[in-house]
Homo-oligomer: A and B are copies of this chain.
């Protein structure tokens, strides 16, 4: 039996505080996302449910060691940041993973996000990257918090399943990825480099993507092992960063599928560690 707690219970206050700040922890909402977190190696500490929440989800949460509490209907809509009210919210603890740990988890594909400010774009990129076989994403140089509510939601749970490093220096990230055997590629505006489908994206590769407004800083562009461009027609000047990253992730998967190594574990083994810096 689970207690019904009031809107002034410390857990509810904590949830409200976490919904406002977006620091070391993050609240997340919705039955699907809570289930995703329970499936992933993410320690879910507390789960707060209203009446519409599936009972089996609460049983699973309790079985996984989370404290489960109930509140009256409408309390969560007031304390969480979701636009569409959800009948359940959870508080989970995310691990801060260093760049070298993320780099070794990349498998065939990683994202390096540099100064990416929009959480919706970041989450969308995580979702595309996971669907294309990526194992890791590194958030660098003032990028949005990957564990913030908007990014978690836009990722549709991918943020739980990828190995994510945050608050990383881009130079450190590229060094770690190079040491783990990944080539790093910067996307540049058309025309500015070889077309993405003429570049080998089937090898283990890290895709560096910059901010919506400013692209990649010069310091990063100088440290990658290569550049790619996405040829365009029409009068569009650029693609949304999430769309550009999605095109590149799926071209990487397409090239791997053609070689019969689509999955993370099928990917070519990383080269020996100790590569020189790009």
Contact = CB atoms under 8 A, between A and B. Distances in A.
A247 B129 CA distance: 13
A7 B25 CA distance: 44
Given A131-B232, A131-B234, A161-B235, 7 more contacts: A130-B234, A130-B235, A131-B239, A132-B234, A231-B253, A243-B246, A246-B246
Contacts of A257: 195, 197, 231
Interface string A233-246: 11111111011001
Nearest to A232: B131
Given A233-B133, A233-B264, A253-B231, A239 B128 contact: yes
A75 interface: no
Interface in A247-262: 247, 250-251, 253-254, 257, 262
A194 B132 CA distance: 17
Number of this chain's copies in the assembly equals 2
Interface centre among A132, A234, A253 (most CB of B within 10 A): A234
Nearest to A133: B233
Nearest to A135: B234
Interface in A112-164: 120, 124, 127-128, 130-134, 154, 156, 158, 161
Interface residues of A, number: 38
A133 B161 CA distance: 35
A49 interface: no
A263 interface: yes
A89 interface: no
A230 interface: yes
A195 B250 CA distance: 12
A107 to B, nearest CB: 10
Nearest to A128: B243
Nearest to A235: B161
Contacts of A130: 234-236
A128 B230 CA distance: 11
29 contacts: A124-B240, A124-B242, A124-B243, A127-B239, A127-B240, A128-B243, A130-B234, A130-B236, A131-B232, A131-B236, A132-B233, A133-B233, A134-B234, A156-B236, A156-B238, A161-B234, A195-B257, A197-B254, A231-B253, A231-B257, A233-B262, A233-B263, A243-B243, A243-B246, A246-B246, A246-B247, A247-B247, A247-B250, A251-B254
